[in-house]
Chain A
Amino acid sequence: MSDTPVVPPSTVVLVSGGSRGLGLAIVTDLLAAGTKVAAFARTVTPELAQLAAEHPDRVHVGAVDVTDLPAVQAFVREVEQRLGPVDGLVNNAAVGQDSMHTHTSTADLARIVETNLTAPLQLTRLVVRRMLGQGRRGRIVNVTSICAQRGFPGLVAYSATKGGMDAATRSLARELGGRLLVNAVAPGFFASEMSAVLGSTQLDQIVRRTPTGHLTEPAEVVPVVRMLLREQTNINGQVIVVDGAASV
C-alpha cells in the first residue's frame, strides 16, 4: 500500500480568467458545489462582480493581468487572507489567435506565449510553492484545447502554448509525486468571445465533423473540471478531451 494519503477535494479554488466564457461558468459551478472561489481577469465583468456581491464570504475577485507577476502574487496573498489557503487552481485565462503564422507579428507571438504559457506556469509555480511550503495537498486543472492535439490553421502559436501546457501537466504530475493531482481539460471549440473570430463556415464544418452534432458547451466542460477538483479519483497527469469526438 502507498504511504501517500489521498488528495482531498479542493475547498478554495483560484480560477484565472474567471470573468466570462468558460472561466465564469467554472466559477459559478464551483460556488454551487460549495467551494470558495477566487477569480481574476484584467477586467471584472458585472457578472463576476455580482457573484462576489452575492457570496461575499465565499468569493474574492480582482482585476489582475495574469502576465503581471507581482500583481498576481499580491492577489494570491489577498485571497489567502480572505478565503484561506488555496488548495485548487484552474489555469483558464488565455488569449486566442486567428492569423496565419507567417503574418502574425512577433509582438503578438510573444503576447500569446506569455499569456497562455509563461503566465500559467508562473502562477502554478507560485501556488504550488505555497501549497508545498505549508504541507498542504491540492489539485490543479489546466484548461488547454483540442488544438494541442489536432492541427487548425490560424492557431499555430496558440496551439503551441496549449500543447506546452498539456506537456507541463504530465511532468508536473510526476514531479509532485501524488501530493497534488495535476490534470488538463481540453475542450473542443465552443461559442465564446475567443471563438467569435471563427467564421460561420468554419463553425458549421466543426459541427458537421462532430458525432454528437453540436459544438461543445461550457456547461459540458464544467462538470469535468469540478470532478477533477472535487471527486476522489486516481486521475493524474491526464488530458481529458471534451469535444463530442470531433477529433477522434
Chain B
Amino acid sequence: MDELSRAQIRDLMAQVLANQGKALPDDDGTDLREIGFRSLDFSELALRVEDETGEELNFDAPGLRRIATVGDVLDFLVTLQRQ
C-alpha cells in the first residue's frame, strides 16, 4: 500500500477547506482555529487519505486534541499512516 506524502495530504486538506469556501494558508504554523478547521474536518481529511491508500486510520481523541496547527495535522496523518 502506498503512503501519501506530506505534500499530497496538504493538497487533500486544501480540498476539504475549498469545499467550505476557505483557503489553506501556505504557513504550516497557522492555527487551526484561525481557518476554522475543526475535528470533523480532520475526520473528513483522514477519510480522504483512507480513500487514497485503502487503509483505515483509527486514532483516539486525546491525540487529536493536541493538534493545533496546519503542520500538526500533516505530521499527525503522516505518522498515523505508518502505524
State the A residues within 8 Å of B (CB): 98-100, 102-105, 108, 153-154, 197, 199
Contacts and interface: CB of A to CB of B under 8 A. Distances in A.
15 contacts: A98-B62, A99-B58, A100-B39, A100-B61, A102-B43, A102-B47, A103-B43, A103-B58, A105-B56, A108-B58, A153-B39, A153-B61, A197-B60, A197-B61, A197-B62
Contact of A99 (B47, B56, B59): B59
Report the 6 A-B pairs with minimum CB-CB distance, sorted nearest first: A105-B58, A98-B61, A154-B61, A99-B60, A103-B58, A199-B65
Contacts of B43: 100, 102-103
Interface in B52-78: 56-62, 64-65
Contact of B57 (A103, A108, A154, A199): A103
B13 interface: no
Interface of B: 39, 43, 46-47, 56-62, 64-65
Contact of B46 (A103, A104, A108, A153): A103
Contact of A199 (B56, B59, B62): B62
Contacts of A108: 58
A137 to B, nearest CB: 43
Q: Which label, helix, strand, loop or mixed, suits the secondary structure of the B interface?
A: helix
Nearest to B66: A199
Contacts of B58: 99, 103-105, 108
A197 B39 CA distance: 17
A100 B41 CA distance: 12
Contacts of B46: 103
Contacts of B56: 105
Contacts of B62: 98, 197, 199
A199 B43 CA distance: 19
Contacts of A197: 60-62
Contacts of B59: 99, 103
B80 to A, nearest CB: 9
Contacts of A103: 43, 46, 57-59
Given A103-B46, A103-B59, 20 more contacts: A98-B61, A99-B58, A99-B60, A99-B61, A100-B39, A100-B61, A102-B43, A102-B47, A103-B43, A103-B58, A104-B58, A105-B56, A108-B58, A153-B39, A153-B61, A197-B60, A197-B61, A197-B62, A199-B62, A199-B65
Contacts of A153: 39, 61
Most buried by B among A99, A104, A108, A197: A99
B81 to A, nearest CB: 13
Contacts of A102: 43, 47
B11 to A, nearest CB: 21
A103 B56 CA distance: 8
Nearest to B47: A102
